[in-house]
Structure 1
């Protein structure tokens, strides 16, 4: 029987079920016994559980494969034990995280990732403010390690920071 011959109620019910699966996956819900999802939806989580075991506080893993509009490509992965995170002084990370706490800095990072690399090019974007303001924000991002600059006045997000930046931004979504 083709899909158009199925009762409308059944087709809508099936669509709602699939949407619920996708929504719970996107929202990062932990899989539970009896979940009706393809077995590989949480492949990274299951792999992490196998590596870490149950004799500790757990672990956090973030990974990504990124193709930027500039043609650059990054594959990156980082994992750390939860116990190590709780034993660290979180205030040490305040300036790194704080540098992301300004809308213009986030826009600067977005523009740089998209290929606008010099302060002159960035200054052409009225949304970024005056040249002085742009340099102020660029210095903050460089000091925090989110950007680096070359001798030719080119700015770039360091390769080892591309995926972490996108992870932070993904985590900030509501």
Structure 2
């Protein structure tokens, strides 16, 4: 058996330890994990970072795959650059966001997503108020684009609004 060259082996082990530490630090999420919480796998964020132009302010992407109780399925993703969002006139979006600012409208959207689609089905739900109140809330949601009427007295959340609605709700969740 040949003798082991101690200085060379020591240098190689030191270099390996340094590289392992470097790899561990690269793999750590950029956002610290709160004490007691499980580490988060930032697979979507890592993919976004790989696509964002260097020197830009960044981007925001949301995506979802949704199976509704009605059997409908939606796969959806959308993104914006931070520059586009910060330069936009947010006041243009006030009525769209404002339509979600009423508890009865949120309940109404939940009921429609669950499969209650006709005004008769919705009108039988006392939590949605009187017939006049129901029509008022339906009109607000239709005007804001959160609902559409596919036939007289039938309502649905447009497919392109299902994931964005759930994203808004996720963002509002305390």
TM norm structure 2: 0.78
The range that moved more, 143-152 or 90-99, is: 143-152
Quote the Cα distance in structure 1 between the aligned partners of 2:75 and 2:100: 22
**Structure 1 pair 117/81, CA: closer, same or farther in 2 (3 Å)?**
same
Q: Indicate the SS of the match to 1:150.
A: strand
Q: Which residue is equivalent to 1:110?
A: 110
Q: Which residue is equivalent to 1:140?
A: 140
Q: Unpaired runs of 5+ in structure 2?
A: 1-27
User: What are the superposed Cα offsets for residues 125-153 of structure 1, whole Å, 9 maximum, x if unpaired?
Assistant: 01000000000000000000000002332
Q: Unpaired runs of 5+ in structure 1?
A: 1-29
Q: Which residue is equivalent to 1:150?
A: 150
- Matches for 1:1-174 after TM superposition, within 5 Å: 31-32=29-30, 37=39, 41-174=41-174
Quote the Cα distance in structure 1 between the aligned partners of 2:103 and 2:76: 26
Quote the Cα distance in structure 2 between the aligned partners of 1:118 and 1:154: 4
Q: Which residue is equivalent to 2:5?
A: none
**Structure 1 pair 108/33, CA: closer, same or farther in 2 (3 Å)?**
closer
User: What are the superposed Cα offsets for residues 33-73 of structure 1, whole Å, 9 maximum, x if unpaired?
Assistant: 897947xx111000000000331110000000000000000
Compute the RMSD of aligned alpha carbons.
1.9
**Structure 1 pair 70/50, CA: closer, same or farther in 2 (3 Å)?**
same
Quote the Cα distance in structure 1 between the aligned partners of 2:31 and 2:121: 53
Count of residue pairs the alignment pairs up: 143
Quote the Cα distance in structure 2 between the aligned partners of 1:68 and 1:33: 32
**Structure 1 pair 104/55, CA: closer, same or farther in 2 (3 Å)?**
same
TM norm structure 1: 0.78
